[in-house]
């Protein structure tokens, strides 16, 4: 099927395949200025613990290299930079220039300059040589990618043999009784907070819908295996609201 005939999920809406990237870019351009404030409000600050857990799994050592895909305002990037030290290298990439600029400014303000580089890049077509990173992370970005299989293959390609991919993403609640509460929160309170704080209810309605359309834990695990990753597994956090999937380039 050609891209002209294919469709992609944009939340609960079906849009032409070629349009999704621009639609997602517009969402994040709209919310970039309030992105970090909204993250704290939406998760009651727990997103920081989710990211700390993901960072605890990297296995990175001083002097190594890491790539943070769809890294936005750079929370994971800062952690990766601390782990590899001044002798290492970290690249923060994002398809959205507004988000990347916000991340770059935060990194500079925090004193990360020499070993961190920022680059506008599409996760589906990463502009790096084969086998050049020891670890690749993508935090809360994979669900916004049009072709997730292409993005996973691209991340696999740029990893060194033995390198690890970590995917931190919203997932499917598994704790008993959690799903109806989570749905009520997502579809009622999230858009309201978006309207009051970010002046953009529609973008946060998209957020809630995009989470529901993202593959569940087992489906995403299968996608990692299909992309070539070995030793794949996942860790549920907060009752499955979030999961960390991981796999190695064997």
- The pLDDT of residue 160: 98
**Which of 34 and 184 is assigned the larger pLDDT?**
184
211, 186 Cβ separation under 8 angstroms: yes
- The pLDDT of residue 148: 98
User: What are 68-121's pLDDT values in tens digits?
Assistant: 999 999 999 999 999 999 999 999 999 999 999 999 999 999 888 788 999 999
Q: Give the 3-state secondary structure percentages of the chain, helix then strand then coil, rounded to 5.
A: 50, 25, 30
Q: Does any domain span residue 49?
A: yes
- The pLDDT of residue 4: 63
- The pLDDT of residue 3: 57
Count CA atoms closer than 13 A to 83's CA, side-chain side.
21
- The pLDDT of residue 54: 98
- The pLDDT of residue 198: 85
Could you tell me the CATH number of the domain that includes residue 94? 3.40.50.150
Q: Does any domain span residue 179?
A: no
Q: Does any domain span residue 185?
A: no
- The pLDDT of residue 1: 52
- The pLDDT of residue 106: 92
- As a whole number of angstroms, the distance between CA 62 and CA 153 comes to 27
- Per-residue burial over 111-147, b if 16 or more Cβ lie within 10 Å, else e, is ebeebbebeebbbbebebeeebbbbbbbbbbbbbbbb
Q: Does any domain span residue 136?
A: yes
Q: Does any domain span residue 196?
A: no
Closest CA to 95 of 156, 152, 138: 138
Helices 97-109, 20-31: axis angle to 10 degrees equals 40
User: What are 93-103's pLDDT values in tens digits?
Assistant: 999 999 999 99
Q: Does any domain span residue 180?
A: no
User: What are 154-202's pLDDT values in tens digits?
Assistant: 999 999 999 999 999 999 999 999 999 999 999 999 899 989 988 899 9
- As a whole number of angstroms, the distance between CA 139 and CA 191 comes to 21
Q: What is the pTM of this model?
A: 0.94
Query: Residue 32 — pLDDT band, cuts 50, 70, 90?
Result: confident
Q: Does any domain span residue 191?
A: no
Which alpha helices (H) appear in 110-195, and where do they start and end? 148-158, 178-184, 190-193
Give Cα separations from 242 to 31, 89, 188 (angstroms).
Answer: 21, 28, 19
Give Cα separations from 206 to 39, 77, 175, 203, 226 (angstroms).
Answer: 15, 25, 24, 5, 28
Overall number of domains in the chain: 1
User: What are 201-243's pLDDT values in tens digits?
Assistant: 999 999 999 999 999 999 999 999 999 999 999 999 999 999 9
Question: Is the pLDDT assigned to residue 2 strictly greater than 70?
Answer: no
Q: Does any domain span residue 110?
A: yes
Question: Is the pLDDT assigned to residue 139 strictly greater than 80?
Answer: yes
Domain containing residue 84: 7-174+206-248
């Amino acid at each position: 099927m050609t891209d002209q005939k294919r469709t992609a999920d944009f939340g609960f809406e079906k849009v032409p395949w070629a349009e999704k990237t621009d639609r997602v870019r517009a969402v994040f351009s709209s919310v970039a200025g309030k992105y970090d404030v909204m993250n704290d409000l939406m998760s009651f600050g727990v997103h920081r613990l989710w990211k700390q857990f993901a960072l605890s799994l990297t296995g990175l050592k001083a002097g190594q290299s890491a790539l943070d895909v769809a890294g936005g305002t750079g929370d994971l990037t800062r952690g990766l930079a601390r782990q590899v030290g001044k002798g290492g290298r970290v690249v923060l990439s994002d398809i959205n220039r507004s988000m990347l600029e916000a991340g770059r400014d935060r990194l500079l303000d925090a004193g990360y300059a020499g070993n961190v580089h920022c680059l506008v890049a599409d996760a589906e077509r990463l502009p790096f040589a084969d086998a050049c990173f020891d670890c690749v992370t993508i935090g809360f970005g994979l669900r916004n990618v049009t072709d997730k299989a292409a993005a996973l293959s691209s991340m696999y390609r740029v990893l060194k043999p033995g390198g690890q991919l970590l995917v931190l993403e919203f997932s499917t609640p598994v704790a008993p009784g959690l799903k109806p509460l989570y749905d009520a929160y997502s579809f009622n309170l999230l858009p309201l907070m978006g309207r009051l704080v970010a002046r953009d209810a529609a973008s946060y309605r998209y957020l809630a819908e995009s989470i529901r359309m993202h593959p569940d834990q087992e489906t995403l695990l299968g996608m990692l295996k299909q992309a070539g990753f070995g030793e794949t597994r996942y860790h549920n956090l907060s009752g499955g609201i979030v999961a960390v999937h991981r796999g190695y380039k064997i």
